[in-house]
Amino acid sequence: MLRYALICAHPSSHGEWRDRAEQAQLAERSAPAGLLLFTSRGLPVIASKQAVIIGSLHSRRAGEVSVPEAPPEDAQAVLQDWWGPFVHCSLATRRLELLREPSGGLPCYHLRRDTSDLFLSDAVTAEALGAMDGAVIDELFLRHWLQFPFLRSARTGFSHVTEVLPGTLLQQMESGWRHVAAWCPPIRPQGVGDWRMAQAAVALRDCTLDTVADQLSGRRALLQLSGGLDSSIIAAALHARGIAFQAVTFATLSPDGDERGFAQAVADRCGVRLEVVREDPGAALPAFTTRTFRPAANLLLRTVDDHIEELSRQSGCSLLADGAGGDNLFGSSVSAAPVADALLSGRGVRTVSDVARRTGQSWWAVAGASLRELRSSRGHATWQADQRFLARATLLAGPDHHPWLVVMPRLTPGRREHLHSLVHIQHFLDRHETAAEVVHPLYARPLLDLCLQVPSWLTVAGGRDRAVAREAFRPLLPSSVIQRRDKGSLEGLLHRRFTRLGDSIRTLTLEGELARSGLLDRPAIESALRAQTWHSTTDHVRLSEIATIELWLQGWRAAR
């Protein structure tokens, strides 16, 4: 894990912060005048008297590979010329401005302690610096996290901690801190100068090869190669650029989550050895020992992370890479939204047939759904709530603000669905409890910019999801992966884990702090557990998420 803390404090407190950082095993680095910067070893820093960039920089200009000797002072200039997992801070305007790069690859949280402002990577660092002493859990966060799952806002689990969301510029004003959307997904009309499949596939392949290589070249990475299209594309990109890597796949006890055949085909094509981690049927209830500002991964899935992290330690790989975000970038729609976009551009007939093949619906059913999509205003600026097992009296009127969703009313249905998906995946990208650095090579700025230009109907061409990505990497991957229509599932694992941990989940959901605080509908939970409705619904996932939040709360309470 790459850790840092950038501190804006009165000079009289600098000595105290230096002492705390030394105890936290963080090294002091160069920073603009009046600021303190402490980082873990291996985190790149470029600093001058007026600005500092924390993290890795990659040029947006073709052929340029060197990083600047001094950081640009203007945040918009940084966004225009560079990408990568970084945070940029500047004092050029005589007030502090801090920008987080749009992919969000380097976390950034803001907290105020006494008269000091801290911008840092994680809760472990905050706690080590003594900035979490007396911290208060934010009940509004708990209510929002439960009611609007998968919508990540600036709110965190603590009242004095906020996240600087990806693409956000934080400005210091006399009245406080102002959040400005420095980057939002671009709005481009479809149908004017749109790419054809061949052109889009070439552009996507070239961009992916460059983007993956830039992030992983020269680093010892362990790739979580599931056998699905997205992680396979990363493997193909690394192999095509001659970048060595190690690969691991996770196999469940049931066929739905055992993708070893596909993963092995990719490993063979790339000439790498594939390690296999198998499901442990006896894994106990996990203990969330790492402090995080928000709850970590679902407790039913923690066993997967534990096994893979152990393998990374044994192999000496401090960097874990996966295909997270690929579905969201490349387009995995099962709705009529792409058809609606095609109709608006005068290309609807063929796309209706493509979506009908993709979903198994009739031509007329898809056409009707697309027309309803065009007439509907749903999804313009809303986020679907999940009210299952929540006390009615605690429900919120609406979701928190997310800057990327402001443009939703001006988008066509397919573009709205795509943007919604890109925001949705942000919820999952840093929920791993691991000491290793985790990288999601596909969820990077160049691919965000490119994939937002691809017409939504191209992503379902031929009745295939992620059709452009499949076409782009057809020459570099086994045909079994390119032609694959099913998708691996952890549903069997989730059911087995829920059955094994049922008593613990019952206790956590019915007797924990959330229930005692009146946030949960205990009779509804008791009824679902008694009737075992989770066998045929997604209630087991919902209840395990509630139990995960309870474990997170208990972890923080135990530290007090």
Instruction: Indicate the pTM of the whole model.
Output: 0.92
- The pLDDT confidence band at residue 78, using thresholds 50, 70 and 90, is very high
Q: Which residues make beta-bridge pairs with 29?
A: 37
3-state secondary structure (DSSP) of residue 171: strand
Q: Residue 140 burial by CB count (10 A; 0-12/13-18/19+): exposed, middle or buried? A: exposed
Superfamily of domain 184-487: HUPs (3.40.50.620)
Q: Which residues make beta-bridge pairs with 87?
A: 54, 100
Q: Which residues make beta-bridge pairs with 82?
A: 59
| Cα–Cα distance measured from residue 155 to residue 133, given in angstroms and rounded to the nearest whole number | 19
Query: Stretch 334-340: mean pLDDT, rounded?
Result: 77
Average pLDDT, the chain: 89
Report the side by side order of strands in the sheet with 221-224: 274-278, 246-251, 221-224, 319-321, 437-439
Query: What residue segments make up the domains of the chain, in order of their start?
Result: 4-181, 184-487, 501-558
What integer pLDDT is reported at residue 379 of this predicted model?
45
535 DSSP assignment: G
Q: In the predicted model, is pLDDT for residue 477 greater than 80?
A: yes
Query: Stretch 408-412: mean pLDDT, rounded?
Result: 85
Condensed to tens digits (0 to 9), the pLDDT of residues 343-354 reads 777 765 566 566
Residues sharing a CB contact under 8 Å with residue 524, sequence separation 6 or more, in sequence order: 388, 389
The long-range contacts involving 342-349, CB below 8 angstroms and separated by at least 24 positions, are 342/455, 342/456, 342/457, 343/370, 343/371, 343/374, 344/190, 344/191, 344/374, 344/412, 345/190, 345/191, 345/194, 345/455, 345/457, 346/191, 347/191, 347/457
What integer pLDDT is reported at residue 354 of this predicted model?
60
Condensed to tens digits (0 to 9), the pLDDT of residues 150-194 reads 999 999 999 999 999 999 999 998 888 999 999 988 766 554 456
- Residue 64 or residue 518, greater confidence: 518
- Map 377-428 to HEC letters: CCCCCCCCCCCCCECHHHCCCCCCCCHHHHHHHHCCHHHHHHHHHHHHHHCC
Residue with tokens 């208990």: 554
| Cα–Cα distance measured from residue 269 to residue 273, given in angstroms and rounded to the nearest whole number | 11
Q: In the predicted model, is pLDDT for residue 110 greater than 90?
A: yes
- The pLDDT confidence band at residue 305, using thresholds 50, 70 and 90, is confident
Query: Stretch 56-80: mean pLDDT, rounded?
Result: 84
Amino acid identity of residue 444, one-letter, is A
Amino acid identity of residue 285, one-letter, is L
Amino acid identity of residue 134, one-letter, is G
CA distances from 59 to 43, 65, 78, 383 (A): 18, 6, 10, 35
- The pLDDT confidence band at residue 17, using thresholds 50, 70 and 90, is very high
Condensed to tens digits (0 to 9), the pLDDT of residues 234-290 reads 999 999 999 999 999 999 999 999 999 999 999 999 999 999 999 988 888 887 777
In CATH terms, the fold of domain 4-181 is: Glutamine Phosphoribosylpyrophosphate, subunit 1, domain 1 (3.60.20)
Q: In the predicted model, is pLDDT for residue 517 greater than 90?
A: yes
Neighbours of 551 (CB within 10 A): 19
What integer pLDDT is reported at residue 192 of this predicted model?
45
Q: Are the beta carbons of 58 and 19 closer than 8 angstroms?
A: no
Q: Are the beta carbons of 325 and 224 closer than 8 angstroms?
A: no
Q: In the predicted model, is pLDDT for residue 529 greater than 90?
A: yes
What integer pLDDT is reported at residue 560 of this predicted model?
61
**For the chain, what percentages of helix, strand and coil (3-state, to nearest 5) are there?**
45, 15, 40
Query: Stretch 434-444: mean pLDDT, rounded?
Result: 90
- Residue 379 or residue 60, greater confidence: 60
